[in-house]
Amino acid sequence: MLTKLFPPKTIELPNGKVVIQKRSMTPIILLVFIVLIYLSVQITDFDLQRLLKRINQFFVIINEMIPPTWAYMPKLWEPLIATIKMSLFGSALGAICALPIAMLAASNINRSRWIPSVTKFILSILRTLPTLVVALIATFIFGLGTMAGTVAIFLFTISYIGKLLYEQIENAEMGAYEAMNAMGLTTIQSFRYAIFPQVLPNYLSTSLFCFEGNVRYASILGYVGAGGIGLLLAESLGWRNYANVGMILLMLVCTVFVIETISEYFRKKLM
């Protein structure tokens, strides 16, 4: 269609030969990009003047966080450990449950057409739901506390690892699997000895990476009553006690840095 709207340019060379030069699409792409940017500004009600006028308030809050309230630190250890426990348990349980779900979603393992489709659809729904919303629903079901946060992290981990894992399974080398199936091994046995060793390093690496992210997500789940250090963060922000917020953020940054460093070390060993 674009070729019809913008026909190629015909150039006749000095030797009499004719060369056809395609029209560049760059001006059209730029025009579409500018229109989309304009529509985005209108829809989101973005105001550059307000941004420039109020951006200094961000640094005012940062200044009030420094120095943090060091005396507040002893009160943070227990909720911080609860946050890590919540993340660790939810991530570990979610990673374990993601394995059989990924097997069901892999179209090269299942001969049935509808089982992989339904499983992938369920994983898509779980990925679509924001973790904060899942945690809020879980607080209505299980009550306030870390149980709700653990359930939210568990479901997010299943959706995240399940999606990546079934794609790895579908891209695995199937020769050994089919040979074992032909020898009479069951689907699970063939998967265990032929496919699982291929996806195991990526599976463990993805699980560790997911755990890193879950520690960060867990810190904000307290906003909806899902327990952990997020409860204290919401409370301190509500009272505008930014020095306490600075202490909480400092401990979170140090914790995430330590976990990321350890996780990165083991992920490099696995790859």
Strands (E) in 49-101, as ranges, are none
CA distance 159 to 123: 5
| Residue 2 maps to a domain | no
For residue 207, give the nearest of 49, 88, 104, 127 by alpha carbon. Answer: 88
Number of domains making up the chain: 2
Q: Are residues 75 and 47 in the same domain?
A: no
Q: Which domain holds residue 28?
A: 9-65
What three-state secondary structure class fits 25? coil
- Quick one: DSSP state of residue 186? -
| Listed residues 30, 45, 65: the one ending a domain | 65
CA distance 234 to 225: 10
Q: Are 109 and 195 in contact (CB under 8 A)?
A: yes
Lowest mean pLDDT among 46-50, 95-99, 197-201, 254-258: 46-50
Q: Are residues 99 and 24 in the same domain?
A: no
| Residue 49 maps to a domain | yes
Q: Are 208 and 266 in contact (CB under 8 A)?
A: yes
Residue 53 is encoded by which pair of tokens? 């006028």
> Token match 């943090």: residue?
68
In the prediction, which pLDDT does 2 show?
62
Q: Are residues 82 and 18 in the same domain?
A: no
| Residue 4 maps to a domain | no
In the prediction, which pLDDT does 33 show?
93
CA distance 219 to 191: 37
| Listed residues 20, 46, 65: the one ending a domain | 65
**Residues 171-226 pLDDT 10s:** 888 888 888 888 888 888 888 888 888 888 888 888 888 888 888 888 778 777 77
| Listed residues 30, 47, 65: the one ending a domain | 65
Q: In angstroms, how far is CA 112 from the centroid of its own chain?
A: 29
In the prediction, which pLDDT does 36 show?
93
Residue 257 is encoded by which pair of tokens? 């840095």
| Residue 179 maps to a domain | yes
Portion of the chain with pLDDT greater than 70, in percent: 97
| Residue 90 maps to a domain | yes
